[in-house]
Amino acid sequence: MKYEKAVRVSIKHDPKLGEKWVQRVIAEDPSLLGLGDLILKDAERIQPHGGRLDLLFQDAESTQRYEVEVQLGRTDESHIIRTIEYWDIERKRYPQYEHTAVIVAEDITSRFLNVIGLFNGAIPLVAIQMSAIQVGELTTLVFTKVLDQTPLGLVDEDEEVAEVTDRAYWESRSPGHMLKAADRLIRLLQEVDPSLEAKYNKFYIGFARNGTPDNYVIIQPIKSHVRLGVRLGRSEELEAEFEKSEIDLMPYNEKSGRYRMRLKPNEVEKHELLLRMVFTQARDDAGA
């Protein structure tokens, strides 16, 4: 077997390579970044106040977007600021998506790793170090994630600091017919799982079992519909049932592992059999 020595080369100083080459390689094969099944949304995306975002990707199965900035050589202040600035612009322009800032550089120094780490948690930020490796006449790129975003708590995990309210609070902020629809969902869930009791919080109606939060279902009655979230693993069979029923299904939330749907008051009764099946599966998945 023939042996060929691998040599690391500097993309910044190699005239045959360069930033545009790196961008093209990543755009053609986003899996190299190790961030999941990504689809290229845009390249060199013009920003409202000047500058261009190198690459914008969206997860193929969720509402997650990644704002990616590429830097040759060592990380510096300007690229970190630019990465965060473009992330901030995109999340404000398109709040219906979840956004993560990504900086890709040849050399992420310990100093700047510490600086980036200060932002992590407050800002969803990923740092990826890339290396160009030459073997004979071929050059390949290797990407190593050196800083991952801190997973943020889910809305129903923040029970210790959640602002607990009561039914009167929801009566004051939700139309009566929407609250009645929410009540019907509560009763339906309690028929499936009788030990649950409704727990009224400021941003959602959740559930508790023997005083302990068990929010595999959350309900939010708002002005135009009732939003229902059910923690349940993805299933092609279940999604086929949703499609057949023509229920208003929102994108699956990968972070919380929830199916989300919008229901008009008359649709709770209309989809009762399907909802009962979904609640039963969620109860079983939760080990209740």
**pTM: predicted TM-score of the whole model, two decimal places:** 0.54
**CATH number of the domain bearing residue 18:** 3.40.1350.10
How does DSSP assign the chain, residue by residue?
A: -----EEEE-TTT-TT--HHHHHHHHHH-GGGGSSSSEEEEEEEEEPTTS-EEEEEEEETTSSEEEEEEEEEEE--HHHHHHHHHHHHHHHHH-TTSEEEEEEEEEE--HHHHHHHHHHBTTB-EEEEEEEEEEETTEEEEEEEEEEPPPPPPPGGG-TTT--B--HHHHHHHS-HHHHHHHHHHHHHHHHHSTTEEEEEBSS-EEEEETTEE--SEEEEE-SS-EEEEEE----HHHHHHHHHHT-EEEEEETTTTEEEEEE-HHHHHHTHHHHHHHHHHHHHHTT-
98 and 141 inside one domain: yes
* pLDDT for res 97: 83
137 and 201 inside one domain: no
Residuewise pLDDT in 10s, the chain (288 residues): 777 777 787 788 877 888 898 899 999 999 999 988 888 999 989 888 778 899 999 987 677 899 999 988 888 778 888 888 999 999 888 887 889 999 998 888 777 777 766 765 678 888 899 988 888 878 888 888 887 765 444 444 444 345 667 888 888 888 888 899 999 999 999 999 999 999 998 778 999 998 888 989 999 888 888 999 999 988 888 888 888 888 888 888 877 788 999 999 889 999 999 999 999 999 998 876
**CA-CA distance, 64 to 203, in Å (whole number)?**
22
Burial of 220 (0-12, 13-18, 19+ CB in 10 A): buried
Q: Among 147, 171, 206, which residue terminates a domain?
A: 147
**CA-CA distance, 165 to 32, in Å (whole number)?**
47
**What is the domain count for the chain?**
2
* pLDDT for res 160: 39
86 and 204 inside one domain: no
- In one-letter notation, the amino acid at residue 100 is T
88 and 139 inside one domain: yes
10 and 141 inside one domain: yes
Establish if 130 belongs to a structural domain.
yes
* pLDDT for res 152: 46
Residue 266 region, left (φ>0) first, then alpha (ψ -120 to 50), else beta?
alpha
Question: What residue numbers bound the domain in which 191 lies?
Answer: 155-285
Tokens of 4: 């060929």
* pLDDT for res 121: 61
Q: Among 103, 118, 147, which residue terminates a domain?
A: 147
* pLDDT for res 57: 93
60 and 21 inside one domain: yes
Establish if 1 belongs to a structural domain.
no
204 and 129 inside one domain: no
88 and 194 inside one domain: no
Q: Among 127, 147, 167, which residue terminates a domain?
A: 147
Establish if 274 belongs to a structural domain.
yes
* pLDDT for res 120: 57
99 and 13 inside one domain: yes
